Homo-oligomer: A and B are copies of this chain.
Amino acid sequence: MKFCSNCAGPVSLTVPPGDHLPRYVCASCGTIHYENPRIIAGCVIEHQGKILLCKRAIEPRYGFWTTPAGFMENGESVQQAAAREAMEEALAHVRLGSMLSIVNVLRAHQVHITFRATLADPSFGIGPESLESRLYAEEEIPWPDIAFLSVEFALRRYLEDRRLGRELLHFRDIDWRDGKPVMTDGPSQ
């Protein structure tokens, strides 16, 4: 951020009075421009015992496989965002179930919220952000080609819970130190 979106004056990083963190503050009009984490909403979709994955047609992680997920938009709920992403990426009309996982991706300033889901009707397809969509049996899942650590976490917890006949909510923090991911799990509930 270099300029004020309100008056086009230059902004500078300073700690406003009474605050405790540096913010982009406009010297001309005084507007404080806050930046906050964003929510990525998605779902693990099961159909006839298999899991629906999409091969990414966009960066980052072009060509890798993911569960449908994307940025939550203003005016929608987290649940609506998760269902919308299933429609956009896999042309899938889903019925959302319980909340599966919440992952704080600290360096990316993102919170990834994933729900359980099933196909509301058996048809699905390939959205503009996908190269391919496919139902995978548990033993077929291409683990080395899963796009994101948070997606792998959600998928593994989903399958584990399914095996144990339960539906828990799982928590993880993902940070990066010396170029390596550092993962810390909270108690599942």
**Residue A122 at the chain B interface, CB threshold 8 Å:** no
CB distance from A189 to the nearest CB of B (A): 5
**Residue A6 at the chain B interface, CB threshold 8 Å:** yes
> Assembly of this chain: how many copies?
2
Among A1-23, those with CB < 8 Å from B are 1-8, 11, 18, 21
Q: Closest B-chain residue to A7, C-beta based?
A: B3
Total residues of chain A contacting the partner, CB 8 A: 44
Determine whether the beta carbon of A173 is less than 8 Å from that of B77. yes
* Residue from B73, B99, B128 within 8 A of A36 (CB atoms): B73
Write the residues of chain A forming the contact surface with B, with a CB cutoff of 8 angstroms.
1-8, 11, 18, 21, 24, 33-39, 71-79, 98-99, 102, 104, 106-107, 109, 111, 128, 167, 169, 171, 173, 186-187, 189
